[in-house]
Amino acid sequence: MEFCGGSVHERLTGLYEDSEGMVIEPFTLRDNLMLEGGVIASGGCLIAAPAVQVERYTSLASFEHCVMEAAALV
């Protein structure tokens, strides 16, 4: 649950919540279910790379990987 900045707590019910008390559903998908499921179902791939907390919105690692994948298709 590193994407929540380490502020995840387990409830007595076994579910997890973020620092605002919102439940984190255990779907084990990286993004919105409709986006990831649709991409994979249509034959695409989902690219994600780990990033340290301070770079989670600015890291270009996944973008660079996408560019390499796109270049390989040409």
| 38 and 48 both lie in a single domain | yes
Q: Can you give the residue range of the structural domain that contains 53? A: 31-74
| 69 and 36 both lie in a single domain | yes
Whether the full predicted model's pTM is greater than 0.85, yes or no, is no
Q: In the beta sheet, which residues pair with residue 16? A: 10, 24
Longest dimension (CA), the chain: 52
pLDDT tens digits along 10-29: 899 988 888 888 888 777 77
Tokens coding 51: 């990033």
Estimate to the nearest angstrom the gap between the alpha carbon of 60 and the chain centroid. Answer: 14
| 47 and 74 both lie in a single domain | yes
Q: How many domains does the chain have?
A: 2
| 36 and 71 both lie in a single domain | yes
Q: Is 14 exposed, middle or buried (0-12, 13-18, 19+ CB in 10 A)?
A: exposed
| 19 and 35 both lie in a single domain | no
Q: Are 16 and 8 spatial neighbours (Cβ–Cβ below 8 Å)?
A: yes
| 15 and 49 both lie in a single domain | no
| 42 and 73 both lie in a single domain | yes
Structure-token match 């439940």, residue found? 23
pLDDT tens digits along 21-51: 888 877 777 666 678 888 888 988 888 888 8
